[in-house]
Amino acid sequence: MIQRISPPGAPAPRGPYSPAVRAGDTVYVAGQISIDPISGEVIRGDVAVETRQVLKNIQSILEGCGASMSQVVRCGVYLTDAADFQAMNAVYAEFFGEAKPARTTIIVAALPLAGAKVEIDAVAYLGE
């Protein structure tokens, strides 16, 4: 069964996509940027500030799907500046601790929302 999910408290999509899709025991979270879910405004700051908001958004979406960060098995990270890798990585480690998902980090020329420094997507497994 496939279920498209827009959990309360998650940022509203800025395009024709679902914040999350559950397919069986797997939840796919769409790429998130540093949008404040209440105001809908982009939170601007250094990459650590933006990464923290991005991961809070992912955490909120997962919780709305009945999942947690510890169930994330894969993330894709997109950075606009390779020099931001260490700062992003430090915040990322705060959210995942010992539950380290597989990850790809890609340096991109730009993200769809002008000025955003980081975007992260996630896949969580809800099975045993």
% of the chain at pLDDT higher than 70: 100
7-59 pLDDT tens trace: 877 888 878 888 999 999 999 999 999 999 988 889 999 999 999 999 999 99
pLDDT confidence of residue 15:
81
Instruction: State pLDDT tens for residues 47-97.
Output: 999 999 999 999 999 999 999 999 999 999 999 999 999 999 999 999 998
Burial string for 11-48 (b: 16+ CB within 10 Å, else e) reads: beeeeeeebbbbeeeebbbbbbbbbebeeeebbeeebb
- pTM: predicted TM-score of the whole model, two decimal places: 0.94
Distance CA 73, CA 24 (A): 15
Domain boundaries defined on the chain: 2-125
Q: What local confidence, expressed as pLDDT, does residue 60 receive?
A: 94
The CATH T-level fold of domain 2-125 is 60s Ribosomal Protein L30; Chain: A; (3.30.1330)
Q: How far apart are CA 81 and CA 45, in angstroms?
A: 14
Say what percent of the chain tops pLDDT 90.
Answer: 73
Per-chain mean pLDDT for the chain: 93
Alpha carbon separation from 5 to 23, 28, 31, 74, 80 (Å, rounded): 11, 10, 14, 19, 28
3-state secondary structure of 32: strand
User: Would you place residue 3 in the very low, low, confident or very high pLDDT band (cuts 50, 70, 90)?
Assistant: confident
Q: Strand locations in 6-128, DSSP E? A: 20-23, 26-32, 72-79, 102-107, 118-125
